Amino acid sequence: MRRTMNSIVVTLALLLSASTLQAQQTPQPLQDLIDKWEAAFNAGNYEALARLYTTDAIRMPPGEDLIQGQEAIVQRNRDFAGFQIELEAYSGIIGEANGSTWGTYKLTGMADGMPVTIEGRWLNAPKKTTEAWRIHRGIWRETDRRAGR
């Protein structure tokens, strides 16, 4: 009986917390953020890209140290100069001040004189600041890497 009551309490708590969020196909403010990110990256404007993050943002790349703060984000993205990215957002959740969104990416470019394609999945946790929605946490992983295509 106690286990059943605990399950009911947990379920109600989850339902109540979820009721303050709206699950949609990528809420427009988050889609706008994703579109700006993609445009800044593809233009090689890494300073503009970094401004799409909170000042205390953390990115978590696969197999690497954390990238903390806007300046570190600028420096890390310079490693991808000349690459192009296609982002597709699948869904998202948005609340009054926080949200999440996720999707896939396809990164293409040249490395060591060879064409490279890297595909994977990403997840962002945006936060609403006084100015606009900004990415507060981001993580991604590769699902496919091909050279010589």
Q: How do residues 39-90 score in pLDDT, each as one tens digit?
A: 999 999 999 999 999 999 999 999 999 999 999 999 999 999 999 999 999 9
Give the residue carrying structure tokens 């009721």: 19
Question: Given this model, what pLDDT does residue 24 score?
Answer: 52
Q: Supply the pLDDT for residue 148.
A: 61
Q: How confident is the model at residue 21 (pLDDT cuts 50, 70, 90)?
A: very low
Predicted confidence at residue 20, as pLDDT, reads: 44
pLDDT digits (tens, 9 = 90+) for 103-115: 999 999 999 899 9
Given a cut of 50, whether residue 126 has pLDDT beyond it is yes
Report pLDDT for 52.
98
Asked whether the beta carbons of 87 and 68 are under 8 A apart, the reply is no
Residue with tokens 């948005």: 94
Single-letter amino acid code for the residue at 65:
D
Residue 36 Ramachandran class (φ > 0 left, ψ -120 to 50 alpha, else beta): alpha
* pTM to 2 decimal places: 0.81
Measure the CA–CA gap between 121 and 111, rounded to whole angstroms.
21
Report the percentage of the chain scoring pLDDT > 90. 79
